[in-house]
Amino acid sequence: MANEYATLADLKEYLAITDNARDNVLFNAIAAASRAIDKKTGRRFWLDGSVVQRTFNPYGRVVRDERGELLLVDDIGSASGLVIETGSGGSWSAVTGYETTPDNALLDGRPVTGLLLATGTWGTRTSRVRVTARWGWPAVPDEIEQATLLQASRLYKRKDTPEGVAGSADWGLMRVPHLDPDVRALIEPFMLPGFA
């Protein structure tokens, strides 16, 4: 998979490794750290190369307030090729007049996470909303890149901590935690509710 959140060169610099003998092991650590961050946050930080259609049931995904109906969607990382339709089965109608939320998300390097209809409705329990978009994030946030380097470094060094126990003559033995506290602090603001 080519959707890692840090480069091999960055990890080698981070670990002060100058040879190429361990490149495969290091790359695997980066890939594993990237996918672990995906699972912990409940989202992914890479952008689809082309548009992909997803269908949503509006039931349970719509928030109503004085502005209108807000449909909560997965992370949309680009407005290029964005198409919104409602319907069911083989009958779909284009939706116009919607706004993306949060305001200026893409300009701020964050994804669109909601579609607001000021007038009208996203449908009923039997209708669906079909969204064609490039899913993911516009770019990998700096915090996610740093968390990937930290976690990949830990995974690489894990070979030196048998049974998950590390130690030194000065400090004694201690269990290695599942997730580095600094990694958790970096990714926590990006976690979707219900993931941890």
Q: What is the pTM of this model?
A: 0.84
Residues belonging to the chain: 196
pLDDT at 180 over 90: no
Q: What is the pLDDT of residues 38-97, one digit of tens each?
A: 999 999 999 999 999 999 999 889 998 888 999 999 999 999 999 999 998 788 999 999
Categorize the per-residue pLDDT at 159 as very low, low, confident or very high, splitting at 50, 70 and 90: confident
Q: What is the pLDDT of residues 89-99, one digit of tens each?
A: 788 999 999 99
Q: What angle is formed at CA 110 by the lines to CA 112 and CA 8, rounded to 5 degrees?
A: 130
29, 81, 98, 99, 192 from 134: Cα distances, Å: 27, 7, 17, 17, 19
Q: 165: closest CA among 174, 152, 177? A: 174
119 burial level (CB within 10 Å; 0-12, 13-18, 19+): exposed
What percent of the chain clears pLDDT 90, i.e. is strictly above it?
Answer: 70
